[in-house]
Amino acid sequence: MNNTCTCAPELKEKEKQDGIKELKEFIKEHKLLHDKQGALMTVLHKVQEIFGYIPREAMDVVSESLGVPTAHIYGMATFYNFFSLKPKAKYQISVCKGTACYVAGGARLLERVEEELKIKLGDVTPDGLFGLSITRCLGCCGLSPVIQVNEEVFVRLVPEKIPAILEKFRKQEKKTK
Amino acid sequence: MQKKIIYLKDTDSTQQDRVNDFYTLFSNELRDTNLIEQASVVRIADMGLYEKGVAVKILPENIVYTGLKNTDVKKIIEETIKGNKVIKESLYEKKSKQMRAVLKNCGYIDPESLEDYLAAGGYKALAKVLLEMKPEQVVEELKKSGLRGRGGAGYPTWMKWNFARGMNSPEKYVICNGDEGDPGAYMDRSVLEGDPHSVLEGMIIAGYTIGSSKGYFYIRAEYPLAVERVQKAIDQAVEAGLLGNNILGSNYSFELEIRLGAGAFVCGEETALIASIEGKRGTPHPRPPYPSVKGLWEKPTIINNVETLANIPQLIFGGGAKFASIGTEKSKGTKVFALTGKVKNSGLVEVPMGITIREIIFDIGGGILNNRSIKAVQTGGPSGGVIPQEFLDTPVDYENLGKLGSIMGSGGMIAIDETDCLVDLAKFYLKFCVDESCGKCAPCRLGGYQLLHLLEKISEGKGEMEDLDKLKKISYAMQKASLCGLGQSASNPVFSTIRYFEEEYKKHIIEKKCPAGKCKALIYFKILPPKCKKCGLCFKNCPSAAILGSREAGYVIDPIKCVKCGLCFDVCKFKAVTKE
């Protein structure tokens, strides 16, 4: 039987080993607080920093070294917004849902992106390339509606322009490969 | 004689003409009087003054004249430039209603330099405390000062410290609460980023007073710059012997560490914050026992807000009596507000307690944008309430705001004008509280959700009169039965909007109308044929192709396709589109 947990997807083998090694060293070096559990927040911040999310394997490592049940760590990771159980995509698309963009048709941009990528809000494409989220306001209301892909902002959009933007990043990805 | 510089600016508007005229006048006058060697005129972009007519600032004396007329130019050149005399009639006197105490160093010193802070009188209070004062005396000074917690509830700081001081325990902790989660409030961030040493100094004094040797800074992970600067400040203080063993040669030792928050609003509540530092989910637990008795790892702990701690150094240095001379009878000192919303000048303001809300909004904030009229002021963020415009002359202090059904809170202040819908506002804040509720206690978890559901129903035009009673009932239950401050105050926005604006709720329920035109389900757009010039602008701009017609036949809006975005209303130059 496949014994993988659905809450946290598998990592690539090499990345996983490197990350876990780094994590173990961090825990060893890190001065423990009053009791071992007190170090949990700091350690989880480190896990998030190394992997970009909280993978199941890292939870187990943290659990063993701090003597805290994995279930408790899972509880922490789901309680705090800052920690994530899903890997972040390479290109995170944020559709602005600020008032100005909303008025200018931001909702239709979101629909189109969902349609193109065949994912829902908050999800990541199976190849890990694109993730979709909304943001409250990017502060460029004069150029609405806008979307942001990683650091890059695309302004005055219409849904028809979405495929070209996605294609641009796909091409960029092919080049780097 | 040192060369003078005349800075010139039209503070009324950005009309270039008037400034240029004055520039020519000044230049000509200087040339005619052969003073070109002694003075030069410079047009500048900003003087920090607004709506004061044409203004000049003359350096190096730093004389500011405002409201100048063409005829004044000659006089200024004659008397001030040549004769070094001040013309009293035109002189601008600064009448700022602000008073910078907590923010006094912010923007004036380099926050990453310990030397700058020392030069501004920093750590003198710490030296005074360690070398001259006993812990009891510090508490006594605090009591005299009347300082109350700036985090929201306004609990007297001296009582908190005194409880913890009286506890017999070998381990005690000091925590600085920098988990500022209020949307629209950033006072703590500014202090941590602009003057981190002042908070550090306050924490060391707190530690000495209660007999603690360990302190934690709890800062939001969303404030990376604040974290970086506080860490730098700690390192500098350790190196300078202001932290660590035997501080300043005394017997007192204290160490500090930073803990990061992880994006949970409820962690601003003290028991939840403690749970978070202990490596648990940030859920609150019932009080008593209060943290000053049983806090972090069950040891006596004091938790103070950033702004409270930043008040400590100047309070100790100047003495409690001096601190108490500012403010009202029960609320002393100054308070920092984050003034936002529909005001002309938004930003951080620090004012003495007892100033009226009207003074903050109109004298400091410059009034309401687009010269609309003010409807209400919201204070205290998602835990606060609204104060309608009739009560704008109320002096700001803990008691008065409480009486009006709002709270001081951490210091968010949002001006609301006639185009804002109060039902919508209550819904916005409630949505926030529902998202952030930790889910531990039923009144908050379920009550908040039900309130939100009812408000949504009302704003969609499906409300019934009995919903108002339900809203009141659930709000009341949440206030009484919730475990922590979040749940107890989550219904405040609903309570206070119903209290003052019941009429507006009734309009939504009975007439199915939103007077402010905010609730989408209750507004309709229409094109008035007599006014329509058939220009087609609305047709071009409509995002949902809901406008039908042609330039010959005129246009109509299809109510089924209309998404009520209001774009047609905004673009129409002839006011032919109406909203009702």
Structure ipTM: 0.71
**Does one domain contain both A108 and A54?**
no
Q: What is the CATH number of the domain that holds A154?
A: 3.40.30.10
Q: What is the mean pLDDT of residues A7-34?
A: 70
Pick B524-579's CATH classification: 3.40.50.2300, 3.40.50.150, 3.30.70.20, 3.90.660.10.
Answer: 3.30.70.20
Domain assignment of residue A4, yes or no: no
Q: If you measure CA to CA, which chain B residue comes closest to A84?
A: B262
Shortest alpha-carbon distance between residue A72 and chain B (Å) = 8
CB contact under 8 A, A42 and B567: no
Domain assignment of residue A3, yes or no: no
User: How many degrees, rounded to 5, is the angle at CA B231 between CA B485 and CA B243?
Assistant: 95
Q: If you measure CA to CA, which chain A residue comes closest to B277?
A: A38
Question: Which CATH architecture group holds B4-90?
Answer: 3-Layer(aba) Sandwich (3.40)
CB contact under 8 A, A37 and B279: yes
The structural domain count of chain A equals 2
**Does one domain contain both A96 and A170?**
yes
Q: Are B178 and B219 in contact (CB under 8 A)?
A: yes
Q: Which residue has the tokens 């990345």?
A: A15
Domain assignment of residue A6, yes or no: no
Distance CA B182, CA B380 (A): 8
- Contacting residues of A for B561, CB less than 8 Å apart: none
Give me the pLDDT at residue B456, please. Answer: 92
| pLDDT tens by residue, A22-78 | 888 887 777 555 566 778 888 888 888 888 788 888 888 888 888 889 999 998 888
- At residue B4, the 3 state secondary structure works out as strand
Distance CA B471, CA B508 (A): 14
Pick B114-324's CATH classification: 3.30.2320.80, 1.20.58.60, 3.40.50.11540, 3.40.50.10710.
Answer: 3.40.50.11540
Judged by a CB distance cut-off of 8 A, whether residue A108 touches chain B is yes
Domain assignment of residue A167, yes or no: yes
CB contact under 8 A, A35 and B264: no
| Three-state SS sequence of B512-534 | CCCCCCCCHHHCCEEECCCCCCC
**Does one domain contain both A159 and A96?**
yes
Q: What is the CATH number of the domain that holds A41?
A: 1.10.10
Domain assignment of residue A8, yes or no: no
**Does one domain contain both A115 and A64?**
no
Domain of residue A148 covers 91-176
**Does one domain contain both A33 and A109?**
no
Domain assignment of residue A73, yes or no: yes
User: Start-end ranges of CATH 3.10.20.600 in chain B?
Assistant: 334-417
Helices marked H in B240-377? 270-277, 306-318, 320-324, 357-358
Q: Which of B263, B277, B279 lies at the smallest CB-CB distance from A81? A: B263
Q: If you measure CA to CA, which chain B residue comes closest to A37?
A: B279
Give me the pLDDT at residue A103, please. Answer: 60
Question: Which CATH architecture group holds B422-511?
Answer: Up-down Bundle (1.20)
**Does one domain contain both A44 and A117?**
no
CB contact under 8 A, A81 and B262: yes
Distance CA A142, CA A104 (A): 10
Predicted confidence band of residue A4 (pLDDT cuts 50, 70, 90) = very low
User: Start-end ranges of CATH 3.40.30.10 in chain B?
Assistant: 4-90
Give me the pLDDT at residue A1, please. Answer: 40
Give me the pLDDT at residue B454, please. Answer: 93
Domain assignment of residue A84, yes or no: no
- Contacting residues of A for B259, CB less than 8 Å apart: 41-42
Give one DSSP letter per residue of B201-252, joined into a string: HHHHHHHHHHT-SEEEEEE-TT-HHHHHHHHHHHHHHHHTTSSBSSGGGSS-
Q: Are B5 and B56 in contact (CB under 8 A)?
A: no
Give me the pLDDT at residue B380, please. Answer: 83
**Does one domain contain both A99 and A66?**
no
| pLDDT tens by residue, A94-115 | 887 655 666 667 778 888 898 8
Q: If you measure CA to CA, which chain B residue comes closest to A48?
A: B262
**Does one domain contain both A112 and A49?**
no
User: Start-end ranges of CATH 3.40.50.11540 in chain B?
Assistant: 114-324
Helices marked H in A80-154? 99-103, 106-117
Look up residue B220 and give its two tokens: 């939001």
List the pLDDT tens digit at each of the 580 positions of chain B: 578 888 888 776 655 678 888 888 888 888 888 888 888 888 877 666 666 778 888 877 778 888 888 888 888 888 888 888 888 777 776 667 788 888 888 777 888 889 989 988 889 999 999 999 999 999 999 999 989 988 777 889 999 999 899 888 889 999 999 888 776 677 888 889 889 999 999 999 999 999 999 999 999 877 778 889 999 999 999 999 999 999 998 899 999 989 888 878 888 888 999 999 888 888 888 888 888 888 888 899 999 999 999 999 999 988 889 889 988 888 889 999 888 778 877 778 899 999 999 989 888 888 887 788 889 998 887 888 899 989 999 999 888 888 888 888 878 888 888 888 888 888 888 888 888 888 889 999 999 999 999 999 998 889 899 999 999 999 999 999 998 888 888 888 898 999 999 999 999 999 888 888 778 788 888 888 888 888 888 888 887 788 888 888 888 888 888 878 777 887 888 888 888 7
User: Start-end ranges of CATH 3.30.70.20 in chain B?
Assistant: 524-579
Measured from the Cβ of residue A152, the count of other Cβ atoms closer than 10 Å reads 11
CB contact under 8 A, B278 and A37: yes
Distance CA B447, CA A88 (A): 34
Judged by a CB distance cut-off of 8 A, whether residue A44 touches chain B is yes
Domain boundary (A32, A47, A79) is at: A79
Distance CA B313, CA B307 (A): 11
Domain assignment of residue A131, yes or no: yes
Give me the pLDDT at residue B16, please. Answer: 63
Buried b (16+ CB within 10 A) or exposed e, B454-493: bbbebbebebeeebbeebeebbebbbeebbbbbbbbbbbb
Pick B334-417's CATH classification: 3.20.130.10, 3.40.50.300, 3.10.20.600, 3.30.200.20.
Answer: 3.10.20.600
- At residue B156, the 3 state secondary structure works out as strand
Give me the pLDDT at residue B208, please. Answer: 93
Shortest alpha-carbon distance between residue A132 and chain B (Å) = 20
**Does one domain contain both A31 and A52?**
yes
Domain boundary (A79, A104, A131) is at: A79
**Amino acid letter, B280:** K
Own/partner contacts of B46-53, CB < 8 Å, gap of 24 or more, are B46/B9, B47/B7, B47/B9, B47/B11, B49/B9, B49/B11, B49/B92, B50/B11, B50/B345, B50/B366, B51/B11, B51/B12, B51/B366, B52/B11, B52/B12, B52/B92, B53/B10, B53/B11, B53/B12
Distance CA B206, CA B217 (A): 13
Q: Which of B212, B216, B217, B278 to mutate to test the interface with A (most CBs of A within 10 A)?
A: B278
**Does one domain contain both A111 and A66?**
no
Instruction: Give the E-state strand segments of B60-141 in sequence order.
Output: 63-65
Shortest alpha-carbon distance between residue B567 and chain A (Å) = 7
